């Protein structure tokens, strides 16, 4: 509960009607949130994939929020923002295509009206000597005045069957 209060649930609930929150009396975690707020997060996931596919580095970088405290976890390795942003810029500057797509519909878990977990199963079709693969990206997003921003992320590839 301390994390939730630190994230400002009290102020968020004064501006918006209550949404499903982890730890409700029923004890159930809303695995797939519905409604306009969840839809805006699913749209953000599709936008991110479009930016990756289009190799739009500046658009992709703009999706991230507090980069001072941001970390990404990739297959068990912690990658701080300076390293991740350098990797993104380098990769997107050198590839001629980035055939990414979303598998199914992105999932959303609302923590409060300004904080959510977004998870996306994606496929990379393979390009320029890189093998095709599928994986899952999970992001913690926070809503700022400029919109939803990624404040933490994790990704992992699915193992080949």
| Domain harbouring 58, CATH code | 3.10.450.50
For residue 21, give the nearest of 142, 109, 122 by alpha carbon: 109
Alpha-carbon distance 33 to 43, whole Å? 13
pLDDT in tens, 107-126: 899 999 999 999 988 887 76
Q: Report residue 116 as tokens.
A: 């959510």
Q: Reply yes or no on whether the pLDDT at 32 is more than 80.
A: no
23: left (phi over 0), alpha (psi -120 to 50) or beta: left
- End-to-end CA distance of the chain: give it in Å, rounded: 39
pLDDT-derived band at 128, boundaries 50, 70, 90: low
pLDDT (tens digit per residue) in 8-27: 333 333 333 334 444 333 44
pTM as predicted: 0.73
If one compares 33 and 90, the residue with the highest pLDDT of the two is: 90
- pLDDT category at 91 given cuts 50, 70, 90 is confident
| Higher local confidence (pLDDT), 146 or 97 | 146
> Residue 10: which domain range?
2-157
- Domain count along the chain: 1
């Amino acid at each position: 509960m301390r994390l939730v209060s630190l994230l400002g649930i009290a102020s968020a609930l004064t501006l918006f009607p209550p949404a499903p929150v982890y730890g409700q009396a029923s004890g159930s975690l809303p695995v797939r949130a519905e409604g306009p707020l969840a839809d805006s997060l699913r749209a953000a996931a599709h936008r991110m994939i479009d930016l990756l596919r289009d190799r739009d580095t500046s658009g992709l970088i703009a999706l991230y929020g507090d980069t001072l405290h941001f970390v990404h976890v990739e297959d068990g390795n912690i990658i701080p923002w300076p390293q991740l942003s350098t990797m993104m810029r380098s990769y997107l500057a050198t590839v001629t295509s980035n055939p990414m797509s979303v598998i199914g519909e992105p999932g959303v878990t609302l923590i409060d009206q300004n904080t959510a977990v977004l998870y996306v199963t994606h496929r990379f079709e393979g390009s320029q000597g890189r093998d095709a693969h599928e994986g899952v990206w999970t992001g913690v997003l926070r809503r700022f005045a400029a919109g939803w921003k990624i404040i933490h992320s994790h990704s992992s590839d699915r193992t080949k069957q």
